[in-house]
Amino acid sequence: MSSANGITAPLVECVLEPLLTQLLRLFPSRSDTRFRRLGSSTWRQMSRFHYLTDEEIAASIDKDSAYVRAAALDDMTRFLVMTIPAGSRYSDSEQFSRLLACLRASKLHPKSYRAADSEDIQVFLPFSEATDTASAARVLSSELLKENFEIAPHSLIIHSTSEPFTLPLQAKFAWLNDDLSVKVLRDDIGLDAAIALFLADLSRAAVSPAVLIDRPAPANQFLAASVDKASSQSEVVVEAINHPIVFEESDSDFRAPMVEEVSELETQQELGAQLQLFSVPAIQQPRYEPLPIRRSRRRRPRSDPQAPRAEPQTNKLFPVITTDNISTSNSRKEVAQKD
């Protein structure tokens, strides 16, 4: 018996240690946390420089803990959390059943709990592998809004990286049925059993995140269908407008020359289009400006050099002596001397 007891004790410790480790790995974001005293409704923000340790989380899920802690999801997560406040309309069993039906129609397996030290309802949506928290929360919010669910702090909260949620397995935590009746109270079972039960719930309900992330967009399908319908209607309208024109036999003589003119016009248009294939730059003629005519101040030569010059007007009071008069007097003297 002693040997059996010596063997079983180490095995129990080895089994329980991985369970606590697995639980702590679910909450990797430790910088943005809140806390409140047990029985109080006022949350207090921890310092941004404070890192929530594993020991503090382990102490908070113990029965003797005097505080309740809350933490936010990391950028990558293996589950999503929704909180329904105690005064929300979705805390009614009928509305809550409608919410569960919507989630299950989306191929998700929700797990319902009562939040620690409160009457709020928590819904966990586990995944088989880590996924982007912001994308998953955005798609889930879109799916619920399409089903006319109200996403607001007083009605339905979808937690992400900026909205801390109350950590599970703390004081007065409980497992709930679909009708919101209590299935198991955390205070009624031990810590080891509570951790094992909670991890088993998440493991059995885990689905691939692609079920939520890679959902087809019904809005795009509806838009494509409406576009196809509109295009088919436009084709019918075009066919109705472009109905064939039927000429009567009396217009045959008038139609023949019109066809020839149209064909000749089309030939000219085709020839013009072919010529337009080669763009020829326009030749710009140089602009010549007429030069101003400059008149010479020199006297023009006479056509007949032997023609007598016109005698200038003489001033009788003050005669003007010119070279012409001198030359004439000299010639007269030479003629007189010869004689």
In angstroms, the CA 229 to CA 18 distance is 59
In angstroms, the CA 93 to CA 112 distance is 12
Closest-CA residue to 117 (of 217, 187, 56, 215):
187
pLDDT in tens, 106-147: 999 999 999 999 999 999 999 999 999 999 999 999 999 999
Which residue, chain included where needed, has tokens 């009562």? 114
Q: What is the pLDDT of residue 148?
A: 95
pLDDT in tens, 229-241: 555 554 544 454 4
Q: What is the pLDDT of residue 64?
A: 87
Longest distance between any two alpha carbons in the chain, whole Å: 192
Q: What is the pLDDT of residue 292?
A: 64
Of 155-164, 172-181, 264-273, the range with the lowest mean pLDDT is 264-273
Residue 4 above 50 pLDDT? Answer: no
Tokens encoding 58: 């382990």
Which residue, chain included where needed, has tokens 């010529």? 275
Residue 171 above 50 pLDDT? Answer: yes
Average pLDDT for residues 49-69, to the nearest whole number? 93
Q: Which CATH code of 3.90.920, 3.30.1240, 2.40.160, 3.40.50 fits the domain covering 2-213? A: 3.90.920
Average pLDDT for residues 287-315, to the nearest whole number? 58
Q: State the Cα angle at 15 between 10 and 19, rounded to 5°.
A: 145
Q: What is the pLDDT of residue 86?
A: 94
Q: What is the pLDDT of residue 315?
A: 54
In angstroms, the CA 201 to CA 124 distance is 10
Q: Which strands make up the sheet holding 67-71, listed edge to edge?
A: 44-45, 33-37, 67-71, 165-166
pLDDT band at 101 (very low <50, low <70, confident <90, very high): very high
End-to-end CA distance of the chain: 192
Q: What is the pLDDT of residue 215?
A: 74
Q: What is the pLDDT of residue 9?
A: 36
- In terms of pLDDT, which residue wins out, 220 or 293? 293
The verdict on pTM exceeding 0.75 is no
Decide if 113 contacts 173 (C-beta within 8 A).
yes
Tokens encoding 147: 């089903």
- In terms of pLDDT, which residue wins out, 15 or 69? 69
Residue 10 above 50 pLDDT? Answer: no
Residue 180 above 80 pLDDT? Answer: yes
In angstroms, the CA 143 to CA 135 distance is 12
Q: What is the pLDDT of residue 43?
A: 95
Q: Which helix (H) or strand (E) holds 78?
A: strand 76-84
Give alpha helix (H) positions in 206-251: 210-213, 218-241
In angstroms, the CA 248 to CA 264 distance is 24
Task: Return mean pLDDT, the chain.
Answer: 77
Q: Tell me which amino acid residue 279 is.
A: S
pLDDT band at 302 (very low <50, low <70, confident <90, very high): low
pLDDT in tens, 200-259: 999 999 999 999 988 765 544 444 444 455 555 545 444 544 555 444 444 444 444 454
Decide if 11 contacts 4 (C-beta within 8 A).
no
In angstroms, the CA 100 to CA 110 distance is 7
Which residue, chain included where needed, has tokens 């919410």? 99
pLDDT in tens, 275-285: 555 555 555 55
Report, in angstroms and rounded to the nearest whole number, the Rg of the chain calculated over CA atoms: 54
